[in-house]
Amino acid sequence: MLSFQHTEFLLSLALIPVLVILYIWVLRWKRKTIKKIGDERLVKEMTSNYAPHRFAIKFVLIVFAFVSAGIALANLRSPKGSEKVSRNGIDVMVALDVSKSMLADDIKPSRLERAKQVIGKLIDELGNDRIGIVVFAGKAYLQMPLTGDHGAAKMFLSTASPDIVPTQGTVIGDALKMCYLAFNTKEKKYKSVILISDGEDHDETAAKIAGQMAAEGVVIHTIGIGSPAGTTINDPATNEPKRDNEGNVVITKLNEAELKTIAEKGNGTYQLFTNTEDVVNTLDTELGKMDHRTVTEDALVNYKSYFQYLLLFSLLLLVLESLIPERIKPKQKIVKFNTATVKAIVFLIVLIPAFANAQNEKQLIKKGNDAYKKNEFDKAQEQYQKAAEKDPSNATAQFNLGNALYKNKKTTDATNAYNNAATHLTDKTEKANALYNKGVVLQNDKKLQECITAYKDALKLNPNDDDTRQNLQKAMQQLKQQQQQNNKQQKKPKENEKQKNKQKQKDDEQNNQPKPQQPKITRKDAEEKLKALLQQEKNLQDKLRKVNASSPNHPEKDW
């Protein structure tokens, strides 16, 4: 059955929702950024080589790599069962005094801490020996049975404190009995007990029990922790010196006599703690003198771990993620000619791939692209022209040549270049793009009828192209306006002539109108008017005679 050795590392998987939220936030941030930049269609053209689905794939790979690493840290494993292990050594039981008197600090930092240091160091030196631990105060408890797992022994040792024994006191006799019961009672040797205490025994049977155990082949070594002069015990609850029932301050002293007696009855040695190294070295020497036997036993359950496979899988996912680019290498394809802005034309060339190790034509195209991006349109035209001459069927060269010619204001040549590109293109979409650019050039050159034809041909190849459809509508509107303007200009001379004709007709009508009938006058009025006329004539004749009299004489002629 599969299980995890370190389940606390599984908490790292709780970060997965955080990663998902972060991923969603990044997507929203990208959308907002695109809107802030400006024309969404132009931004799409600028980022046409960006693959959003690859960004999603990279995120999924990272998440799976994170999950795999988290499970690896928790050490997924399956039990393999126990195995037989042969050991050549002895069995050692450690009886550790954890009574409150062991909290005295006459041995810094305390008697108990020093005792635990001695045991920990001794465990490192035992080798193939089995070890068990008994803790005691007012009662004795088997904290760990005999085992060859020295790491587990250290773990149990680290938890030893007065708190694990509810009854206080010092019952060395009970601790020795507990150690004896932990041994194989059928054997009469290969067994040893190491007693570490301050010797303040409240049980008078300890020495007697030590003698009985020695008769069964158990060797007992004792270690005295503390000073014979004694010291106070600091009570952790009140942080004051501990007092007895009568209120007197308790003084705990090392009882060397008791410990020496137990060691003597148990056929072992007694040591006063001075420093850890000396005590451990002496014990190791004494234990090494004992007879060792080969023991075959069932070791603790072994496990097959899978963390190495999970880490390898996580590493492979991360490598794969790093090899997947978010940008794809665009094929050499025709890009639409955008009339909205001159900058869009530059991006057409950016989107054309430039493979440095391609054929000679592609190298020329690359040089042309570089020159185009630097606004060196004459040089770009020259490079594209060379590529087109080397391979007239190279549609990319023809198309880019059309772009450069257009920038150089050679609209007729640009139109021919786009025609050549469309002729050699097989892909309907790319061919439609060439016709689209041709239409743009014609539209800017005010050749609207030809422009409309080019747009219609492009829509036949790519009916879903909104740009072409919009430009077609605009061109048709412009053509209509142009025709209306031409009609007005043609109508104007006719209207002027018509106006003249109307004026002449009006004048003729006025001239041809009948004269008004003179009103009838009386005879008397007529005679008076006649007299007036005669008088006017007489006056005129008088003036003429005066003029003739003042003028020089001329020969009269009657002819």
> Residue 155's pLDDT is what?
87
Looking at the fold, whether 271 and 318 belong to one and the same domain comes out as: no
pLDDT of res. 279: 93
The whole-number average pLDDT for the span 253-277 is 92
The pLDDT of residue 303:
65
Residue 555 pLDDT exceeds 80: no
Q: Tell whether 33 and 95 lie within a shared domain.
A: no
Gap between the Cα atoms of 371 and 383, Å rounded: 9
Check residue 202 and report its DSSP letter.
S
Reply yes or no on whether the pLDDT at 224 is more than 90.
yes
Query: In the prediction, which pLDDT does 210 show?
Result: 93
Whether 339 shows a pLDDT value over 50: the answer reads no
- Total tally of structural domains belonging to the chain: 3
% of the chain beyond a pLDDT of 90:
17
Residues 56 and 153 placed together within one structural domain of the fold: no
Indicate if 270 and 319 belong to the same structural domain: no
Give the tens place of pLDDT for each residue, 382-434: 888 888 888 888 888 888 888 888 888 888 888 888 888 888 887 888 888 88
Q: Which residues contact 435 (CB under 8 A, 6 or more apart)?
A: 418, 422, 454, 455, 457, 458, 461
pLDDT band at 4 (very low <50, low <70, confident <90, very high): confident
Q: Would 318 be classed as within a structural domain?
A: yes
Residue 364 banded pLDDT, cuts 50, 70, 90? confident
Confidence of residue 281 (pLDDT cuts 50, 70, 90): very high
What pLDDT band is residue 10 in, cutting at 50, 70 and 90?
Answer: confident
Rounded to whole angstroms, the Cα distance separating 167 from 365 reads 94
Verify that 281 and 360 share a domain, yes or no.
no
Please check the confidence at residue 100 and state whether its pLDDT lies above 50. yes
Q: What is the mean pLDDT of the chain?
A: 78
Give the pairing type, strands 270-272 and 218-224: parallel
Q: Tens digits of per-residue pLDDT, 152-180?
A: 888 888 888 888 888 887 889 999 999 99
* Cα 87 to Cα 79: distance, rounded to the nearest angstrom: 23
- Confirm whether 153 is domain-assigned: yes
Asked whether residue 521 is assigned to any structural domain, the reply reads: no
Contact present, 211 and 100 (Cβ < 8 Å): no
For residue 166, whether the previous peptide bond is cis, meaning omega lies within 30 degrees of 0, is no
Residue count (the chain):
559
For residue range 505-546, what is the model confidence (pLDDT) as tens digits?
666 555 554 443 444 456 666 677 667 766 766 665 665 555
275, part of any domain: yes
> For 523, what's the count of Cα atoms within 13 Å in the CB-facing half-sphere?
0
Contact 174, 139 (CB under 8 A): yes
Return the pLDDT at 219.
95
If you average pLDDT over each of 34-38, 476-480, 487-491, which comes out highest? 476-480
Query: Taking 60 as the threshold, does the pLDDT of residue 553 lie above it?
Result: no
| Whether residue 275 is found in the same domain as residue 209 | yes
pLDDT score recorded for residue 498: 65
Residue 545 falls within a domain, yes or no? no
Angle between helices 206-215 and 256-265 (to 10 degrees): 20
Across residues 184-209, what is the average pLDDT?
A: 84
Which stretches does DSSP call E strand in 45-104? 76-81, 84-89, 91-97
Highest mean pLDDT among 134-138, 193-197, 237-241, 426-430: 193-197
Same domain, 211 and 259: yes
The three-class DSSP label of residue 543 is helix
User: Which CATH number is 401's domain given?
Assistant: 1.25.40.10
Out of 14-18, 147-151, 201-205, 363-367, least confident range: 201-205
Confidence at residue 304, expressed as pLDDT on a 0 to 100 scale: 78
pLDDT of residue 356: 37
**pLDDT (tens digit, 9 = 90+) per residue, 290-330?**
888 776 554 445 567 888 888 899 899 889 888 888 766 65
Residue 526 lies in a domain: no
pLDDT beyond 50 at 352: no
What pLDDT does 29 receive? 86
CA dist 222 and 272 (Å) reads 9
Q: What is residue 132's predicted lDDT score, i.e. its pLDDT?
A: 93
Reduced to 3 states (helix: H, G, I; strand: E, B; else coil), residue 518 is coil
Q: Which of 436, 439, 437 is nearest to 450 (CA)?
A: 439
Tell me which residue range forms the domain holding 241.
Answer: 84-298
> What is the value of pTM for the model shown?
0.42
Q: Are residues 233 and 147 in the same domain?
A: yes
Q: Residue 324's pLDDT is what?
A: 82
Residues 387, 254: one domain?
no
User: Cα–Cα–Cα angle for 69, 71, 73, nearest 5°?
Assistant: 70
389: part of which helix (H) or strand (E)?
helix 377-390
Q: How much is the pLDDT for 464?
A: 81
Is 507 part of a structural domain of the chain? no
Same domain, 19 and 68: yes
Residue finishing a domain among 230, 264, 298: 298
CATH number of the domain bearing residue 260: 3.40.50.410
Cis peptide before 79 (omega within 30 of 0): no
For residues 223 and 258, state if they share a domain: yes
Is 262 within a domain?
yes
| pLDDT surpasses 80 at 442 | yes
Contact 433, 442 (CB under 8 A): no
pLDDT for residue 431:
84
250 and 385 inside one domain: no
Q: What are phi and psi of 522, to 5 degrees?
A: -85, 165
Given a cut of 50, is residue 335 above it in pLDDT? no
